[in-house]
Structure 1
């Protein structure tokens, strides 16, 4: 998929307020026909369901899904500052998304200054560390200290995973075998997964 197609796809999802992988719905049940029937619950009670699940789609059809707040793009200053701290230009597609669409907040995507953060309030730039490989920017947060990084050193904007829970020590960073375009396209298609290593069938 071309970069312009991905940019348009992300922009459309953000504009439609359909950008979160986890959705808050009003409590209820699926009836025999797959319709969402609301259940009595205390005021303000919501259930968290996965976007695209049967429950989400049925609740959406029943107008039982809480609308998401609009996302705002990053400022030019924030993006320029991010590139200065990183010491590299951002991949053109990522720069355009930050400036034209949203400062993170869609799917697992982190923002730069003033944008979406991880659960400890850190933006992609706050997470940069001299202990990390040069030129890698953390742009996706999955929980449990697991992140997706994009290589900004001009090698095709390839994606890297980081999982400190893997027990691999210095090898906690590993190439995911996809580009930023592939990664974002996977999110648009609902097939993007958090970084994970599969054991070698021969050695385990």
Structure 2
């Protein structure tokens, strides 16, 4: 039943075109009453802000948020082909999401053939590497070659993190300690974290919000709630 609830909530977000962690808004500012006032700027200029940020909510109320395109589910053939290449069946929840809701594209989730890709145009299946642990499927791309994997070979569809920038070689993989259903639930609740190596370079942290308070501040952290300027 837990899988059904998470599936339903993801489907609702996708149907409402409210599935991205970042949104494009028309540049502006909040007036004294808190209303979003669009600034005169060149046509096509947009700010990229975090979903749920103060800027996003104010712009949303003023109808100054660009709509997201619809997402389409994967074909049965794409799912069957993915399982054949992987050598294992997809976790039932992930299979249903691909077939019934969307072929990736919500949050950081990658698709399979015909679906959402990473920054190099690769689907989760394209990203498979025979040198990596068998049965792990890279289902989320966080940028900087950092991925989250789901274990399709073991029980419970447990999540793994991967950060090749760690300098730890084969130990760049680590268990996130939560199953896929909890990982997706954390995304729905806005508290999903990418794989993170502590500043002492000896400790990996979990994937969810409760871990945040235990981390050392990262001097290179950029607040995602601050607007980033884009010119179309």
- Where 1:46 maps in the other structure, the secondary structure is strand
Against the structure 1 CA distance between its residues 43 and 201, is the aligned structure 2 distance closer, same or farther, given a 3 Å change threshold?
closer
Distance between the aligned counterparts of 2:88 and 2:64, measured in 1? 44
Distance between the aligned counterparts of 1:158 and 1:139, measured in 2? 12
Distance between the aligned counterparts of 2:47 and 2:88, measured in 1? 42
2:218 is aligned to: none
Deviations 1:96-137 (A, max 9, x none): 000000000000000000000001000000011110101000
Distance between the aligned counterparts of 1:10 and 1:154, measured in 2? 24
Q: List aligned pairs for 1:130-169, cutoff 5 A.
A: 130-169=130-169
- Where 2:65 maps in the other structure, the secondary structure is coil
TM-score, with length taken from structure 2: 0.85
Distance between the aligned counterparts of 1:170 and 1:202, measured in 2? 14
Q: List aligned pairs for 1:116-127, cutoff 5 A.
A: 116-127=116-127
Structure possessing the higher relative contact order (Cα contacts under 8 Å, 6 or more residues apart): 2
TM-score, with length taken from structure 1: 0.96
Distance between the aligned counterparts of 2:67 and 2:128, measured in 1? 33
Distance between the aligned counterparts of 1:21 and 1:49, measured in 2? 9
- Aligned-pair RMSD on alpha carbons? 1.6
1:180 is aligned to: 180
Distance between the aligned counterparts of 1:52 and 1:87, measured in 2? 39
Q: Which moved more, 1:164-173 or 1:94-103?
A: 164-173
Give 5+ residue unaligned stretches, structure 2: 204-232
Against the structure 1 CA distance between its residues 54 and 173, is the aligned structure 2 distance closer, same or farther, given a 3 Å change threshold?
same
Deviations 1:113-162 (A, max 9, x none): 00000010000000111101010000000000000000001321000000
1:101 is aligned to: 101
Distance between the aligned counterparts of 2:167 and 2:103, measured in 1? 32
Give 5+ residue unaligned stretches, structure 1: none
Q: CA deviation at 1:35?
A: 1.6
Q: Is the 8 A contact 2:110 2:116 kept in 1?
A: yes
1:60 is aligned to: 60
Distance between the aligned counterparts of 1:152 and 1:117, measured in 2? 20
1:20 is aligned to: 20
Distance between the aligned counterparts of 2:5 and 2:31, measured in 1? 38
Q: CA deviation at 1:34?
A: 2.1
Q: CA deviation at 1:33?
A: 2.6
